[in-house]
């Protein structure tokens, strides 16, 4: 049985202008069916197979594994298993290094991998739900962990890139493919510091918002067509910072002339704190310099200052 997902269906999330923020109450576990709206919004999943498996429970936010490299000895009951296009996966557990999937709650086929009819039949028999996404398996894992963390741990997260620029924490937002990660890489090359890419864990301290990366992706940038790079290995330890305050949201847009009058500034509520937001043109070859100028303008009073690269 196939169940369609409606990306437009609300699930209590604020998803505007390419910046998604979600807040939840604390839960002990989450059922697969409770992830359906999130799978549509975060992973672009349009349908989920195996309706009899929608009641299975995922025990905690760390129960998300890649197949087959995580190995059968690490496969835990209730886990979400991510299968990439090049992975060899046999749902019956037969074959070298194949995990037994009888206790798995959900199988996600990443990179638009096409599961075989026999495999789907076995998953149906075992009452295990499955779905497909075009995201590569590392991006799918990052977003799934964020979704599980929000549902189970009650944390808040945003999708974008957080960079420390000239002493200010800049959260880059925008549609997928707008160039957020590429812009962050250019800023790192100019001596700025990466905090988080793709998934940003946010929390409020008093009247301030702080962001950091999940432990599994710290220091990592996912570049389209290249894959993951570790900025600490490529540019040195100073290219990464574990956490920083969020001072400004920069939304990369394809139509900045239609957004609001030039030079005007919007404010956006994040966890009850109003943060300034600017819109800058995606793909502009001056983008890094524009962001550095904005970072200086919005620098924290009395804070340590850096200056734009020449």
pLDDT digits (tens, 9 = 90+) for 39-69: 988 899 978 899 899 999 888 766 778 876 5
pLDDT for 12: 30
pLDDT for 240: 96
pLDDT for 303: 42
pLDDT for 212: 93
| Paired tokens of 230 | 């570790």
Give the residues of the chain that fall short of pLDDT 50: 6-27, 70-73, 96-98, 260, 301-310
* Alpha helix (H) residue ranges in the chain: 36-43, 117-125, 137-148, 180-189, 231-235, 287-297
| Paired tokens of 40 | 């549509």
Q: In which residue are the tokens 């793709």 written?
A: 198
pLDDT for 163: 97
pLDDT for 18: 41
pLDDT for 150: 66
| Paired tokens of 174 | 């925008």
pLDDT for 156: 74
pLDDT for 266: 82
At 122, give phi and psi (nearest 5°).
-65, -40
pLDDT for 14: 32
Name all domains of the chain by residue range, CATH numbers in brackets: 14-153 (3.40.1390.20), 156-297 (3.40.50.300)
Q: What is the pLDDT of residues 272-288, one digit of tens each?
A: 789 999 988 888 888 99
Angle between the 137-148 and 36-43 helix axes, to the nearest 10 degrees?
140
The CA distance from 125 to 14, in Å, is 37
pLDDT for 24: 32
Angle between the 287-297 and 180-189 helix axes, to the nearest 10 degrees?
80
The CA distance from 67 to 62, in Å, is 15
At 253, give phi and psi (nearest 5°).
-125, 150
């Amino acid at each position: 049985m196939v169940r369609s997902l409606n990306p437009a269906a609300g699930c209590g999330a604020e998803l505007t202008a390419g910046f998604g923020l979600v807040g939840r109450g604390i839960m002990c576990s989450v059922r697969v069916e409770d992830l359906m709206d999130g799978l549509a919004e975060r992973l672009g999943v349009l349908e989920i197979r195996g309706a009899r498996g929608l009641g299975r429970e995922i025990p905690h936010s760390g129960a998300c594994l890649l197949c087959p490299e995580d190995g059968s000895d690490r496969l835990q009951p209730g886990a979400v298993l991510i299968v990439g296009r090049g992975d060899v996966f046999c749902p019956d557990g037969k074959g070298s290094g194949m995990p037994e999937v009888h206790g798995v709650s959900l199988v996600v086929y990443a990179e638009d991998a096409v599961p075989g009819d026999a495999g789907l039949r076995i998953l149906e028999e075992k009452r295990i739900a499955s779905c497909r996404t075009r995201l590569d398996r590392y991006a799918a894992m990052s977003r799934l962990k964020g979704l599980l963390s929000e549902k189970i741990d009650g944390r808040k997260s945003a999708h974008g890139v957080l960079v420390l620029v000239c002493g200010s924490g800049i959260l880059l937002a925008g549609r997928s493919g707008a160039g957020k990660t590429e812009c962050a890489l250019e800023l790192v090359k100019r001596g700025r510091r990466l905090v988080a890419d793709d998934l940003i864990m946010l929390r409020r301290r008093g009247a301030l918002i702080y962001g950091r990366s999940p432990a599994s992706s710290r220091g990592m940038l996912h570049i389209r067509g290249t894959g993951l790079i570790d900025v600490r290995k490529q540019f040195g330890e100073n290219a990464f910072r574990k956490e920083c305050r969020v001072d400004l949201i920069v939304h990369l847009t394809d139509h900045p002339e239609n957004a609001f009058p030039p030079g005007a500034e919007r404010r956006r509520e994040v966890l009850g704190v109003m943060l300034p937001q600017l819109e800058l043109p995606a793909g502009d070859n001056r983008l890094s310099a524009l962001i550095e100028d904005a970072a200086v303008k919005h620098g924290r009073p009395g804070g340590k200052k850096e200056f734009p690269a020449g």
